[in-house]
Structure 1
Amino acid sequence: MTVDTARFATRAVHAARSRETAAARATPIYLTAGFEFDDFDHAADHFSTGTGFGYTRTGNPTVRAVERQLASLESGADAVLVASGQAAVSTALLSVVGAGDHIVSSTHIYEGTRGLFLDNLARLDIETTFVEDIADPDAWRAAIRPNTRALFAESLANARNDVLDVAAVSAIADEVAVPLIVDNTLATPSLLRPIEHGAAVVVHSASKFLAGHGSVLGGVIVDDGRFDAERAGHNAPHLVLPGRGGAPSVFSRHGGRARIAYARESVAPRFGASPSPLNAFLIGQGAETLSLRVERQSRNALEIARWLESQDAVESVDYAGLPSHPHHETAVRYLEGGFGSIFTFTLRGGLPAARRFVEDVRVFTHMTHIGDVRSLALHPGTTSHAQRTDAERAVLGVGPGTLRLSIGIEDVADLIADLSRVLESVRETVA
């Protein structure tokens, strides 16, 4: 019996089936849970070697294409795409640390990541020490312990725009043969590629600039592919020792890509962090225009930051592109083609002024997101940083009147006009 001669219900299920291939110019979307095997041996080979595709949770052609794209943009050897930026951070860390291990992290990081360290990883007996002065190499070095297995930081920090000296910190990580993991979400590979400066692993919330339109969630881990078993094997026994039942070690099968292979084979699929192929497609489409958007956003942000710095209603502006920023020289050394589009500024008048600002903007959107084509505004003190103490917020440059902007691709004159109108209203409130 063929499909054409089958009964109605069978034809409804099987008539569209095709093994034809076509050279689509855009990345095809393989929106399927599983993949058909050619024969018995094909299925057995897939499960024994991992080659090819069997189930989308463990691999998908659309996802794989975007992984290659993002690895190339970050100058990495390989990448694993996951369901969110938080999943990227979790997967990257769980690929290198385990119970009884220790992490050294910048204190200037996304609050969700900080919560992961303090609440979730702590329950797994993984401890974290935070470094406040990230520009001081000795502060990093002093925080390292014999059981330290990773250093973690953001290339361009949320919210104060602190800029990481990637080469200096990666050199310290190399001294103890552990990876430096850099969250490069805010800088994007269009402005900075940490692997080129010595970082071992880069993570992103792909929901932000990589996708670019605020429509999907995703995350990515990019690895340098230079894991050295001889130097670092003692810090990563899960990569160099045989697996369950005497299976070959991850390093023996993947060499320098052992770390990212472990993330792909053992962490992301088992913890369920796999992304939707549709989201992967949209992230890949967004990444194609990344450089154009970041160039426009960075140019707009610099002009707006300069304008804000000249306004009487503004107490301070924390933008790495301004000479007044303490990390401006580091930004000039590392960032190519712009200084990013996310920064904070603080209004005179404290919380009442900030409230008036977020309730009066019209071109700017008041929402919790960054890296969008649209310009966005948020009050960190009562949202993203609400769980911090006043003293902790002060260290991060977040006061009652501090606002975070994520600058989009709109006409900068319209953005400044919106800000000008709102600041006039703020002046009246303060007066």
Structure 2
Amino acid sequence: MTELEEKGKAAKAASKKLASLPTEVKNRAILGIADALGARQNEILAANSQDYNESEASGMSAAMLDRLMLNPSRLEGIANDVRTVAALADPVGEVIEKRTLPNGLHLSKKRVPLGVIGAIYESRPNVTVDISVLCLKSGNAVILRGGKEALRSNLALAKVVQEAAYKAGVPQGSVQIIESTDRALVDYMLKMKGTIDLIIPRGGTGLIKSVAENAAMPVVTGGIGVCHTYVDKNADLNKAVAIAYNAKVQRPTVCNALDTLLVHTEIAPRYLPLIAQEWAKASVEMHCDKRALTILKPITSLKLVPAKADDWGKEFLALIAAIKVVDSLDEALEHIEHYGSGHSEAIVTEDKSAAARFLNEVDAACVYANASTRFTDGSQFGLGAEIGISTQKFHARGPMALRELTSYKWLIVGDGHVRP
């Protein structure tokens, strides 16, 4: 039996015990993990520093380096998200609905864990903690496989999680991490149907596509965010500037950051100079269509580039934004339908009917009116940490938190009932 098979067997055995583990034990473990992240900060940051320096020397992009980096503030944020999960209601055992049939049978629909979750992810070491904690709270075992660029960080974090969880009474084997960077192990992991109940990939397009095409078990995909903000002709200029600035600049390397700004032609001459000059202060490069370029060219301080066809539908993950002037809400909706990834889309408008139409017609996991797309996040939604943002429609959509890591079963209680 290979090491991976042994980990799978241990995780499967642990999942049976986890399914009925008392909530107080799970919460004690989760709070212990949060405390341990602070107590062992130096150990974790030292491992992360090695990963970061090695990746920087190898020429890793700024966006990937940002995702890889841990610092005291980020580690504290991770710990706070962990504590939030402990405070959330335990989904396991929740009765979703119940009824009594005319024949006297009592039916109830009860929430249950999925079993064993396989997580394959790149760069972000925080995922090691987020996924582990969410799986523990939802009664699932987890097998982690992070990217080689974050190996030391992931191993350090997994060790902290395992030791704190097992000390609190969580079954041994509940949290497993694959220590080898051998790519063949990922291929093998994707074939472990019967051991792993669900695979969740987090990373770039290549990883997600590969997992979706090769996994023998169900996969929840997402995380690729081509996010639009549409500034309607009836938008409040101050709100529109603040929202687009936040969506692009606050953290440009993440999936819920703005990629394309769509602006109604009637408001474009007044709005575009305002947002462009604010973006310029943050060194945002603007890829403009012809009409946007005509409006902005007189402002010499801007970093303007004529937009190319492949700028539409691109996830920049950098201080770059595409800008397009549109003639109507209809055109904005058509553009988003064609180029959007189903992640997060926003409209800025004071017209309630336009906002309602946008909210109803845009087909995305998260659709906003007068708010930044940067809110698409489990912690911002009050869900605690998240496993990722699902852009598919089956099983889970949007931030994947506790309930999205459960299924349900029907319980039927009779009194000698037989079907006529």
TM-score band w.r.t. shorter chain: under 0.3
The structure with the greater share of residues assigned to strand is: 2
Q: TM-score, normalised by structure 2?
A: 0.26
